[in-house]
Amino acid sequence: MTMDAIQHQTSAGGAEPVAQRGASLWADARRRLARDRWAMLCLGIIAFYVLLALGGAMYEALAAPEGGIPTFEETINFDQSYRPPSLDSLRNLLGTDWAGRSVLLKTVLGAKVSLTVGLMSNLIAVPLGLMLGAAAGYFGRRTDAVIVWLYSTMASVPGIVLLIAMKYAFKNVTFLGLNLGGIHGLYIALGVTAWVGTCRYVRAEVMKVRELEYVLAARAVGRGNVMILLRHVLPNVLHLGIISFSLGVVGAITAEVTLSYLGLGVEVGMPSWGTMIDGARMELHAGRWWELASAVGAMFLLVLALNIFGDRLRDALDPRLKNV
Cβ 260 to another protein shortest distance, Å: 40
Question: Shortest distance, CB of residue 38 to another protein, whole angstroms?
Answer: 27
Minimum CB separation of residue 147 from another protein in Å reads 19
Cα(141)–Cα(160) distance, rounded to whole angstroms?
31
The contact set with another protein (CB under 8 A) reads 1, 5-7, 9-10, 12-13, 15-16, 18, 21-25, 212-214, 216-224, 231-232, 235-236
The CA distances from residue 272 to 69, 108, 153, in Å, are 21, 9, 31
CA distance 45 to 25: 25
171 vs 231 by CB, closer to another protein = 231
Q: What is the DSSP string of 101-142?
A: -BHHHHHHHHHHHHHHHHHHHHHHHHHHHHHHHHHHHHH-HH
| Cβ proximity to another protein, 178 vs 218, nearer residue | 218
Q: Which is nearer to another protein, 222 or 287 (CB)?
A: 222
- In the beta sheet, which residues pair with residue 178? 175
Which is nearer to another protein, 1 or 286 (by Cβ)? 1
> Closest CB to another protein among 25 and 301?
25
Minimum Å gap between C-beta 159 and another protein is 33
Could you give the 3-state DSSP secondary structure of residue 50? helix
- Is-contact 266 113, C-beta < 8 A? yes
Considering the complex, what minimum distance in angstroms separates the CB of residue 149 from another protein? 21
Angle at which helix 195-210 crosses helix 183-193, to 10 degrees, equals: 40
